Structure 1
Amino acid sequence: MNPQKTYTVDEAQKMLENYCAYQERCHKEVKEKLREMKMIPEAVDKIIVHLIQNNYLNEERFAKAFVRGKFRIKKWGKNRLVRELKFREISKYSIESALKEINDEDYYKTLDELVEKRIQQVKETNSYKKKKKVADYLLYRGWESHLVYEKINASIK
């Protein structure tokens, strides 16, 4: 994308169709992309409406794909997922709908696996320090504190 080039609404619309077809995008990413292209606000609104009407842009679909991906690949907890979606200006309804994509059984199983793996990695003899290091790691990844402490206290004596 050339910063000096100006785009017609049709050219920009085509580019954004491809941008959204490549992977799920949120409204915020699309607006930023259009701003980078130096599009005027009226054109931005027109293009976004077109993308929504033609199903290139769908906030709820983006939120669900985001949650599934980040949970499965990065093993993020619900707190981190919610924080990241809010940062992307996703609606409360879409966030709640997306969190339902995570099966409770898989969620607890993943937490168990993360706790066990991290306990093996932390080379600390003092059990309090070890608990803190494992807890910090999990809290940073967005796991709920009550679940983290419950698991750690059961795993580390």
Structure 2
Amino acid sequence: MDAPKKIKITDPKVALAKAESFCAYQERSQQEVRDKLYDWGLWPDAIEQIISELIQSNFLNEDRFAKAYTKGKFSQKAWGRIKIKQGLKLKRVPDVLIKKALLTIDLDDYLAALTRLLDKKAGSIIEKNAFKRRYKLQQYAMGRGYEADLISEVLKVSDL
């Protein structure tokens, strides 16, 4: 069975039109668009020109992307700030925009999400030893990107 053929685009106008629809479908980071344009086989000069045109026409906005990514990962996947920050860094979003996006998460909602996450996980842990149980819950929440001090606070208060 043959692998799907890669799309090769040499005309910058065609690439711009495809990139616009790529960006219109959902928010994208500059790096995602850049990677897609390289996959299409465009030259670096053409890629940077297309990126700047997408920014000027507001198809591409890193600030908007960072906020949408943060909101989505927090509300849909219940990720913590650390994991969201790592995800944004992988997308090469500037640190200033990452900090700004993380500030959009309400602290009360954040603590409520962490509490829900720990309550749900506590129901599936069979461990009888209280210390091991607490350790497993803490490790799970840290793996989801939550801060250790907040996890400890929630575990003290909720008595899981």
TM, length-normalised to structure 1:
0.94
- What SS does the aligned partner of 1:34 have? helix
Task: Spell out the pairing of 1:75-94 with structure 2 (5 A cutoff).
Answer: 75-94=78-97
Cα distance change, pair 13–4 in 1 and its aligned pair in 2 (3 A): closer
Q: 4+ residue stretches of structure 1 with deviation over 4 A? A: none
The alpha-carbon deviation at position 156 of structure 1 amounts to: 3.8
Match of 2:65 among 62, 67, 73: 62
Unaligned runs of 5+ in 2: none
Asked if the contact 2:9/2:15 (under 8 Å) is kept, the reply is no
Is structure 2 residue 23 aligned with structure 1 residue 23?
A: no
What per-residue deviation string (whole Å, max 9, x for no partner) do you get for residues 119-147 of structure 1?
Answer: 11211111111111111110001000011
Match of 1:74 among 72, 77, 80: 77
Give me the identity figure in percent.
36
C-alpha distance in 1, partners of 2:94/2:156? Answer: 36
Which deviates the most, 55-64 or 119-128?
119-128
In the alignment, the residues of structure 2 paired with residue 4 and residue 105 of structure 1 have an alpha-carbon distance, to the nearest angstrom, of 46
Letter in 2 for 1:39: L
RMSD: 1.5
Give the CA deviation at 1:84: 0.9
Three-state SS of the structure 2 residue aligned to 1:57 is: coil
The two structures have a TM-score, normalised by structure 2, of 0.92
The total of aligned residue pairs comes to 157
Contact residue 131 and residue 156 of structure 1 kept, 8 A:
no
